[in-house]
Amino acid sequence: MKSQKRTLLASYLLSTVSRIQILEVSFIREIRIMVVSHIKLSSSSVEEISNQQIDILINAVDDAFGGVIVEMKEPMNSNVFDTLLRVSISCWREQGKKGIWLKLPIELANLVEAAVKQGFWYHHAEPTYLMLAYWIPETAHTLPANASHTVGIGAFIMNKKREILVVQENNGRFKGSGLWKLPTGTVDVGEDIVEAAIREVKEETGIKVEFMELLAVRQSHNVSFGKSNLFFVFMLRPLSFDIQKQDSEIAAAKWMPFEEYAAQSYMQKNEHFNYIAKICAAKIDNDYTGFCALPATAVSSRRRKSCLYFNNHGGVVVPNTI
């Protein structure tokens, strides 16, 4: 009796699995037929699509926040993509996924319109790709915004004669103004801010420098295309003194007595410039202590390089500061 029951149960399970498999195959076949029939192409293109394996879901990997990341790499007809994306979103919704990150390389720009029509929005763009985003739940999305700030640096460099390295710019707001200012520049993606300061000084003036202290940080809003800006002022030690200016960016460069630099009328009128000059003056007179840098490795699977800036004036004993 028990043997008969086990046989009947096994037969029932096998028949159930077979029915599920038939339904699966039927569903996949219907989706594939829908994909191909949805495309209004030449007969040669239809034949090409019919002869290749069409996956019903777009390849994706899970992110750490309950969403998925889609990175398109192969060329695809926009109508095929439209259908596959629609089916994929439906599947991800059933799986309880939240955000969708869709990365489209520049050579697949033909897929942007299909994604936008399904509710994706632009998140950010880089020279080689566009990142779009989508939120599945019917709630306000919690996806992080694009980078809110650009990052710039200014370099305070003084020789033993109490002269500081200053430049006049060939471009930008100060072109032709006669203003002598600190060498400045922007930080590249993935670049350390200290390395950026050292690089910018070398590019603009030919002077080799090394890090001493971080003196100040200025935050400004709505600086470039609605983005805010963080501007780091560093004190750097000169390792060379022969100026070789960058002709494309710099109209003039020289060593100027600090008092002459600080006495310029623009320095007196502009609040931020004036404060920075006063901080530099206090540093010269040993009345101000900036921030040292403590290199570290972030605790993560990627072992990302990081740096902690802090004021060590209070006697905090930390090794390996730079």
The predicted-structure confidence for 219-234, as pLDDT tens digits, reads as follows: 999 998 989 999 999 9
Instruction: Say whether 19 sits in a helix, a strand or coil.
Output: helix
Instruction: Write the DSSP symbol of residue 53.
Output: -
pLDDT of 12: 46
- Per-residue exposure over 143-152, b if at least 16 CB sit within 10 Å of its own CB, e if not: beeeeeebbb
Phi, psi of 67 (to 5 degrees): -115, -170
Alpha-carbon dihedral angle through residues 284, 290, 296, 298, given to the nearest 10 degrees? -140
pLDDT digit of tens for each residue in the chain (322 aa)?
Answer: 545 545 554 454 445 434 434 444 444 445 544 544 444 444 444 444 434 434 568 999 999 999 999 999 999 999 999 999 999 999 999 999 999 999 999 999 999 999 999 999 999 999 999 999 999 999 999 999 999 999 999 999 999 999 999 999 999 899 999 999 999 999 999 899 999 999 999 999 999 999 999 999 999 999 989 899 999 999 999 999 999 999 999 999 999 999 999 999 999 999 999 999 999 999 999 889 999 988 876 655 466 778 889 887 766 655 556 6
pLDDT of 187: 96
Q: Cβ(155)–Cβ(165) under 8 Å? A: yes
d(CA 166, CA 169): 10
Alpha carbon distances (Å) from 152 to 184, 198, 202, 214, 247: 7, 12, 16, 13, 21
d(CA 140, CA 69): 19
Q: Which domains does the chain have, with CATH numbers?
A: 38-135 (3.40.630.30), 149-290 (3.90.79.10)
pTM for this entry: 0.76
Instruction: Write the DSSP symbol of residue 269.
Output: H
Enumerate the active-site residues. Answer: 203
Q: Which amino acid is at 7?
A: T
